Amino acid sequence: MAATTTPTIPPPAPAVDAAALRAFLDGEHAEIRDRCRAWLSVPANAPRPGLALEEHRAQVLAWAKDLADAGETARGFPAEYGGQGQVGGAVAGFETLAFGDLSLLVKCGVQFGLFGGAVLHLGTRKHHDRHLADIASLRLPGCFAMTETGHGSNVQQLETTATYDAATGEFVVSTPHDGARKDYIGNAARDGRMAAVFAQLVVGGQSRGVHALLVPLRDADGIVLPGIRIEDCGAKLGLDGVDNGRIWFDDVRVPRDNLLDRYAAVDEDGVYRSAIDSSTKRFFTMLGTLIQGRVSICGASISATKVALAIAVRHAEARRQFGPPGDDGVEEVVLLDYRTHQRRLLPALAKVYALHFAQEELVARLHRVFTADEELDRERRELETLAAGLKAVATWHATATIQECREACGGMGYLQGNRFAALKADTDVFTTFEGDNTVLLQLAAKNLLTDFRDQLGELDPLGTAGFYARQGFEAVAERSAMREVLTRLADDLLPGRDDQADLGRRDVQLELLRWRADHIKSGVARRLKGGIDAGRDPFHVLLDCQDHLLAAARAYVDSVVLEAFAAKLERCEDPGGRLLLDRVCDLYALSTIEADRGWFQEHGRLSSTRSKAVIKAVNSLCGQLRPHAQTLVEAFGVPETALGDAAPIARAST
Ligand SMILES: Cc1cc2nc3c(=O)[nH]c(=O)nc-3n(C[C@H](O)[C@H](O)[C@H](O)COP(=O)(O)OP(=O)(O)OC[C@H]3O[C@@H](n4cnc5c(N)ncnc54)[C@H](O)[C@@H]3O)c2cc1C
């Protein structure tokens, strides 16, 4: 067996300009990002840790109004309602806002993204004319009231009802029992005056599935309207500046026109009409239009991770602990010179770069799909898959990395005044709202496992399992098995394949991650088919394979993230920046492979020698990138008001 050598990976450029790197990261929406940075750079707009709950809520509302007055919050709206029709630009602005107070971010997300998005995408001209300008300016604070205490992830089973009364031409909105009260609803406890309420629509005694309609909650003076009951959710783990509440509807009557009727309408005579026949398809079509929220939270989690890494890296460049024994009088060593410290921070930093470029790709797709003149069904499905998968991976990365950065700053990281308390608490729930991560990965896997997403959307889990079995996965499985045999042969028998040098090659890295994604996907298909062929109940076969489905989705995300990074590098015109980012990309790829090297060995894709070489390569890359760590975090362009001014430990080395 060959001895382990370090893969051949050339060093990065000696020095790279952080400003040039930042311009490359900021991409086509640089101007919007800079406008948002400028707003965050005003000292009065900096995060204010330790504010009391009500004070924080009031501050957040005041900030949101200020942003609205400055025209920063409704970029995605059509121009006639105060926006600029810039879907991608709106997400870029939101991402940048995530450098600051995250309660403000979420408040804006609820008002302009969720409430505004529901009116824009589910409503029609009359709703737009009536409300969009007021939503954009925050004259009409509103809520997105979907979740109920009894149903969060399974939204199709919501129990609030909206029953059409043909005699009066009104809908009667009702909460049938406490489990059906709306729960966790942002903007409800204090400020919201209207809500986009998701309810089971009942017309002529027939249930038509979940639809959204506008229900006023408070009058202009903020007094709760008759028939509405609202309760404050109270203190949460984080996001204290957002007023989440619970809402009950006691037979509240709203005019027929309040139904957001882009996909289904009820006429004066009480006749229900929709261009989409299937209620399930209609429901998923409606949900699909709201995907911008998920994409936005994904980007925001990446920004929050950048803040944590910027603080931790700056601290690690300044903080000294220990030194070589016997060297009395010699300065102790800075934390970032320790390999363990590099190992803790730099692969996470590389992954944030990778996620940033994947998010850029995701946002570009979002923009394309939502601004195209025609319906791009296939692109829409791919967007949904990538958004679900990337949101899960990015928000989990935020949670893990912010914790690691806190620990990397020791006791100082634990002080509220150094930002980690808020970063940890406020981003925690990003893994849950805009789609619970575990549920989202199943959605991504389901999309991956079929080319016929629409057909699958019609099916319940039982039908889904049967569908998998019928759609020729046998062929996929056989192809995959053959590819595995061939690759093993190539790895084990062909001369030179045990050489580790090729691990530094992008095509080899890409091939490893793509192969894993493909292999796991076809493995799930094989298991589903095998279980069903054996006569087992399809629903339980599906349940047995759930962990496998999640692995398939994660592997898919890892490979598309590397693809996005590699593709972006091809467009980097600055040779120094390109060289540096090439190494960052290597670190992302190899640390991802390293994290699953047991799997790669089990499947014959890494010999033990090559597997050890991956560890050496990651160590070597950490050493190579160590001198560039500060440049890499400065390139994020986190305003000083949210960095050194807000976290004194991030001030020391600047
Ligand atoms: C701070 C905050 C703000 C929010 N703001 C809003 C808002 O403004 N408007 C709104 O409508 N909603 C809002 N929500 C609600 C949020 O969208 C839901 O909490 C989320 O969708 C999850 O639903 P749930 O809490 O009922 O969890 P559940 O669906 O009960 O999930 C609980 C656990 O079960 C797991 N699980 C569920 N289903 C499956 C399955 N099929 N397979 C395997 N595991 C499964 C999940 O992974 C999760 O770990 C907010 C929530 C919070 C905490």
| Residue 151 Cα: closest atom of ligand 1 | 26
Cα–Cα dist 639/175, whole Å: 45
Cα–Cα dist 294/433, whole Å: 9
What is the whole-number distance in angstroms between the Cα of residue 229 and the centre of ligand 1?
A: 22
Mean per-residue pLDDT, 183-195: 98
In this prediction, residue 449 has a pLDDT band, given cuts at 50, 70 and 90, of confident
Q: In 3D, which of 153, 385, 358 has the Cα closest to residue 288?
A: 385
Mean per-residue pLDDT, 65-88: 92
Question: Could you report the per-residue pLDDT of 570-602, keeping only the tens digit for each?
Answer: 999 999 999 999 999 999 999 999 999 999 999
What is the whole-number distance in angstroms between the Cα of residue 208 and the centre of ligand 1?
A: 24
Q: Given a cut of 70, is residue 431 above it in pLDDT?
A: yes
Specify the pLDDT at position 457.
43
What is the whole-number distance in angstroms between the Cα of residue 149 and the centre of ligand 1?
A: 9
Q: In 3D, which of 421, 351, 343 has the Cα closest to residue 390?
A: 351
Within 10 Å of residue 421's Cβ, how many Cβ atoms? 17
One-letter amino acid of 341:
H
From the CB of 432, is ligand 1 less than 6 Å away? yes
In this prediction, residue 170 has a pLDDT band, given cuts at 50, 70 and 90, of very high
Positions of E strands within 147-266: 161-165, 170-174, 182-185, 194-203, 206-216, 228-232, 245-249, 252-255, 265-266
In this prediction, residue 1 has a pLDDT band, given cuts at 50, 70 and 90, of very low
Question: Among the listed ranges 26-30, 349-353, 519-523, 564-568, which one has the minimum average pLDDT value?
Answer: 519-523
From the CB of 144, is ligand 1 less than 6 Å away? yes
> Do the Cβ atoms of 120 and 212 come closer than 8 Å?
no
> Do the Cβ atoms of 383 and 294 come closer than 8 Å?
no
Stated as kind and residue range, the H or E segment containing 142 is strand 142-145
Sort 514 into a burial class: Cβ within 10 Å, 0-12 / 13-18 / 19+.
middle
Mean pLDDT of the chain: 91
One-letter amino acid of 231:
E
Answer positive or negative: Cα dihedral of 340, 342, 348, 350. negative
Specify the pLDDT at position 458.
45
Q: Given a cut of 80, is residue 495 above it in pLDDT?
A: no
Question: Among the listed ranges 476-485, 541-550, 642-651, which one has the minimum average pLDDT value?
Answer: 476-485
Stated as kind and residue range, the H or E segment containing 55 is helix 53-69
Task: Among 60, 155, 184, 462, say which to mutate for ligand 1: greatest number of ligand atoms within 8 Å of CB.
Answer: 184
Specify the pLDDT at position 330.
79
More confident residue, 131 or 501: 131
Stated as kind and residue range, the H or E segment containing 272 is strand 272-273
In this prediction, residue 10 has a pLDDT band, given cuts at 50, 70 and 90, of confident
Q: Given a cut of 80, is residue 485 above it in pLDDT?
A: no
In this prediction, residue 131 has a pLDDT band, given cuts at 50, 70 and 90, of very high
More confident residue, 435 or 537: 435
In this prediction, residue 14 has a pLDDT band, given cuts at 50, 70 and 90, of confident
Question: Could you report the per-residue pLDDT of 377-422, keeping only the tens digit for each?
Answer: 889 989 999 999 999 999 999 999 999 999 999 999 999 999 999 9
From the CB of 436, is ligand 1 less than 6 Å away? yes
Mean per-residue pLDDT, 339-366: 98
> Do the Cβ atoms of 498 and 578 come closer than 8 Å?
no
Question: Among the listed ranges 203-217, 492-506, 562-576, which one has the minimum average pLDDT value?
Answer: 492-506
Question: Among the listed ranges 5-9, 138-142, 324-328, 639-643, which one has the minimum average pLDDT value?
Answer: 5-9
